């Protein structure tokens, strides 16, 4: 079974070179996902010189692993936003998502992008009596904010539910086909793209200089950190203001007529449902969910099995062709951080904390940053999403709870003394946490029978990583860093690989 997403299987991208020299440009963008590519597209259309750096391959990260719902229905959010930041700002949030949706639709229509764009209604539903009052409260928030929606007792898709909240006129699409067009246009406009180029550090004088892992330099007037977690913190303390969550998706062929709609429940475990076309022909059902804090010690394979069981029970789909996972970050007040990394750095931008709603959040992020650079700060949503904002009601509470969990995981990891195990007995593809020379290590046996032995101490702030059996990665439960089974960094905030441990005396 493919571990690539249905989008990645269905899209072939041009390969781009690795950066091999020092460069100068007006704008350097780190991260070739939806935000980075959209920003490059917008800025290059304005005639700006742009360099786009990607640590792996373009669209190999979160954007390539999304469910790609183009919607302003971001779970149970609007009643909470009214309570925590007020009605005016909650309405601004909805309007920002609407603007992002209109931008995507207009680009697709005007440029005739073949990306399976379909308008669909979105449904928040529950089959649990305990959540009915919360769903009704969310419906009241819709009315207060003039959001088109209605409470219903029967959905088009016949699955167990007691009540649902419908948001009309949302959409879904093939994200990589959409972004393939934008990337090609950005390149035509002069954007330089470099893959396999890892941005490591930043020097800042009058201009910013990005220094890569191979010690090449890109000097720029403006820097956009469009990575899932900002590759630079620059005193922004983003690791303390967000937490990482892992989620999973399975996909199998749908036979018969699909009644339409995109669906997500409000209780746990999460179940997210939509369809997608593969090769513009076959219809596939996507079932997502099983969210959990990244890096916690559990059997991730069971998450996939639970989703497969749901697809079988509810839709009689037992042939699952694709499965993949995604990680995303949630901020203190559940709204993304978009804008200057700190108040003192107006030329360095971040865009992060999309809470799994990256199609609209990522698009509005690109627009806000591009407008700030080219339109003299003229964007109505700049202050709403500013990383410098502070709303004491939700933020203080969550700052404390987030970091209490980090402290708990840190202590738990340091008090974990795993039993010694004969690592020669490991099967191919199996990993274990054991003790070697008195230290906690992680061991993985690859398909060539080679053992990869690593110190399990995360190189970010010293928490102990755990093995993710589904993705074959080492994941940190504190701040969401992820490492390949050989210890190389896959996702930050960590920058350095896990330390290799020798088994020799």
Q: What is the mean pLDDT of each run of 10 residues along the chain (505 residues)?
A: 80 92 97 96 97 92 88 96 94 98 98 96 96 96 96 95 96 96 97 96 89 96 92 74 90 91 95 90 93 78 94 92 90 92 88 94 97 84 89 58 56 58 77 81 87 89 86 87 89 87 77
In a domain, 381, yes or no: yes
User: Residue 234: its pLDDT value, please?
Assistant: 63
**C-alpha distances in Å from residue 94, one per residue of 28, 120, 140, 240:** 30, 17, 15, 26
Domain extent for 19: 6-65+176-240+334-399
H-state helical runs in 324-376: 358-374
| C-alpha–C-alpha distance, residues 174 and 102, integer Å | 16
User: Any idea which residue has 């900002």 for tokens?
Assistant: 230
247 in a structural domain: no
Q: Is residue 501 a part of any domain in this protein?
A: no
pLDDT at site 55: 92
The pLDDT, as a whole number, for residue 260 is: 94
Q: Which two tokens stand for residue 358?
A: 């990256």
In a domain, 386, yes or no: yes
481 and 363 fall within a common domain: no
pLDDT of residue 400: 54
Q: How far is CA 390 from CA 85, 229, 347, in A?
A: 10, 20, 21
Exposed e or buried b per residue across 103-125, where buried means at least 16 C-beta atoms within 10 angstroms of its C-beta: bbeebbeeeebebbbbebbbbbb
DSSP letter string over 427-456?
PTT-EEEEEETTEEEEEEE-TTS-EEEEE-
Distance (Å) of CA 208 to CA 239, 365, 438, 473: 22, 21, 44, 33
For 66-189, where are the alpha helices, taking DSSP H only? Answer: 78-85, 87-111, 132-144, 175-188
- pLDDT at residue 20, as a whole number: 96
Task: Decide which of 399, 415, 436 is a domain's last residue.
Answer: 399
- Copy the structure tokens of residue 370: 């591009």
**Distance between first and last Cα of the chain:** 40
Residue finishing a domain among 365, 399, 433: 399
Q: What pLDDT sits at residue 377?
A: 66
Residues 231 and 344 in one domain: yes
Same domain, 440 and 478: yes
Residues 340 and 234 in one domain: yes
Q: Residue 59: what pLDDT?
A: 86
- Do 476 and 354 belong to one domain? no
């Amino acid at each position: 079974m493919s571990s690539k997403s249905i989008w990645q299987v269905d899209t072939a991208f041009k390969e781009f070179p690795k950066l091999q020299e020092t460069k100068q440009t007006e704008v350097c963008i780190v991260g070739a996902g939806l935000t980075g590519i959209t920003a490059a597209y917008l800025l290059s259309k304005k005639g700006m010189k742009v360099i786009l750096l990607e640590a792996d391959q373009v669209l190999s990260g979160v954007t390539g692993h999304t469910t790609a719902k183009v919607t302003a229905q971001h779970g149970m959010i609007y009643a909470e936003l009214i309570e925590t930041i007020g009605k005016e700002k909650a309405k601004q949030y909805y309007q920002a998502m609407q603007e992002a949706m209109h931008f995507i639709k207009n680009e697709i229509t005007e440029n005739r992008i073949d990306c399976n764009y379909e308008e669909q209604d979105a449904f928040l539903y529950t089959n649990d009596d305990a959540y009915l009052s919360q769903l009704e409260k969310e419906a009241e928030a819709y009315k207060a904010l003039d959001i088109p929606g209605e409470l219903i007792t029967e959905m088009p898709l016949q699955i167990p539910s007691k009540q649902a909240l419908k948001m009309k006129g949302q959409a879904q699409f093939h994200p990589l086909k959409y972004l393939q067009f934008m990337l090609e246009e950005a390149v035509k406009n002069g954007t330089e793209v470099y893959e396999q180029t890892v941005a490591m550090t930043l020097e800042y004088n009058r201009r910013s200089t990005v220094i890569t892992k191979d010690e090449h330099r890109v000097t720029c007037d403006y820097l956009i950190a469009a990575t899932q977690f900002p590759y630079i913190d620059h005193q922004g303390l983003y690791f303390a203001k967000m937490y990482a969550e892992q989620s999973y998706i399975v996909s199998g062929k749908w036979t018969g007529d699909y009644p339409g709609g995109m669906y997500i429940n409000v209780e746990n475990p999460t179940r997210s449902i939509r369809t997608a076309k593969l090769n513009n022909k076959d219809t596939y059902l996507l079932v997502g969910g099983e969210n959990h804090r990244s890096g916690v010690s559990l059997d991730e394979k069971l998450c996939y099995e639970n989703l497969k069981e749901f697809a079988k029970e509810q839709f009689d789909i037992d042939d699952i062709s694709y499965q993949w996972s995604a990680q995303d970050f949630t901020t203190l007040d559940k709204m993304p951080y978009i804008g200057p990394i700190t108040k003192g750095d107006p030329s360095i931008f971040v865009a992060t904390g999309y809470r799994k709603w990256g199609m609209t959040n990522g698009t509005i992020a690109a627009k806000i940053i591009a407008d700030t650079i080219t339109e003299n700060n003229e964007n109505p949503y700049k202050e709403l999403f500013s990383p410098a904002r502070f709303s004491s009601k939700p933020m203080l509470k969550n700052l404390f709870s987030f970091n209490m969990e980090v402290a708990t995981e840190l202590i738990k990891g340091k008090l974990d003394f795993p039993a010694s195990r004969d690592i020669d007995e490991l099967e191919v593809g199996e990993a274990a946490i054991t003790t070697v020379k008195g230290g906690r290590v992680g061991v993985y046996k690859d398909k060539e029978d080679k053992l990869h032995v690593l110190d399990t101490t995360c190189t970010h702030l010293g928490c102990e990583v755990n093995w993710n059996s589904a993705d074959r990665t080492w994941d940190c439960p504190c701040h969401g860093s992820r490492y390949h089974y050989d210890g190389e960094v896959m996702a930050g905030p960590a920058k350095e690989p896990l330390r290799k441990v020798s088994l020799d005396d």
